[in-house]
Amino acid sequence: MTRRAAFGLIAGTALLALLGACAAVSPTASVPPKHPEELGPGRTDCAECHSDLSTGALKPYASFKHSSVFVREHGLYAAQGQNLCASCHGPSFCQECHGRKDELKPNVRMGDRPDRMLPHRGDYIVQHRIDGRLDPGSCFRCHGNKNDARCRACHK
C-alpha cells in the first residue's frame, strides 16, 4: 500500500468517525421534492412569496431570483446542492443544456422560447472560432472532457 493510499484510508476512516460522532443526519426537514403550488410563467423570483432561508439550499430565497446575473452564475449555486432547484425543475432540466452528446442545440429544440438564455444561437460554428480562441475555458466546461462528436469533423 502506498503512502498516499494509506493516508486516504486513514483520512476516510477519521472522516466517517467524525460524522458518526455528529449523530448522523441533521433533523432539519428536507426541502420538499415538489413546490406545493404551480408557479407562474416568466422568470421566477422566490422572494415574491418567501422571505426566509431555504431549508434545502440553506441560503436566502432571494439568492435564487432568476435574474440574468443568477442565470449566468447558476452553476456556482448548483454545485453546492440542487435540492431547491429540483423543487421546481424536473430531474432532466439540467440536461436540456448540459447534455452529453445531444445533436439538437437547445435553442433549436426551444424555438418558442427566445426569452430563455440558451447557448449557441445562430450559426455558432462561425462564432466559436473567436470564443474558442479568446476564452477556451468557457467551452471546456461542457466540451472538454465530454463527448462532442461534432468537434471530430475538424479537430482531429
Site for other proteins in 110-129 (CB under 8 A): 111-115, 120-123, 125-127, 129
User: Least separation, in Å, of the C-beta of 135 and other proteins?
Assistant: 6
All cell numbers assigned to 153 = 469533423
Q: Name the 3-class secondary structure at 53.
A: strand
CA 102 to chain CA mean position, Å: 17
- Please state, as a whole number, how many other Cβ atoms lie within 10 Å of the Cβ of residue 37: 7
Q: Is 91 in the site for other proteins (CB under 8 A)?
A: yes
Contacting other proteins within 30-69 (CB under 8 A): 30-31, 33-44, 53, 55-56, 58-60, 62-63, 65, 67-69
Q: How many residues bind other proteins (CB under 8 A)?
A: 105
Q: Is 5 in the site for other proteins (CB under 8 A)?
A: no
Backbone angles phi, psi at 53, to 5 degrees: -90, 145
User: Least separation, in Å, of the C-beta of 142 and other proteins?
Assistant: 9
User: How far, in Å, are 14, 35, 71, 81, 125 from residue 97 at the CA level?
Assistant: 39, 22, 13, 18, 17
Q: Is 136 in the site for other proteins (CB under 8 A)?
A: yes
Q: Is 2 in the site for other proteins (CB under 8 A)?
A: no
Find all residues with CB under 8 Å of 42, minimum gap 6, and list them: 115
- Binding other proteins (rule: CB under 8 A), the pick from 10, 14, 17, 140 is 140
User: Least separation, in Å, of the C-beta of 133 and other proteins?
Assistant: 4
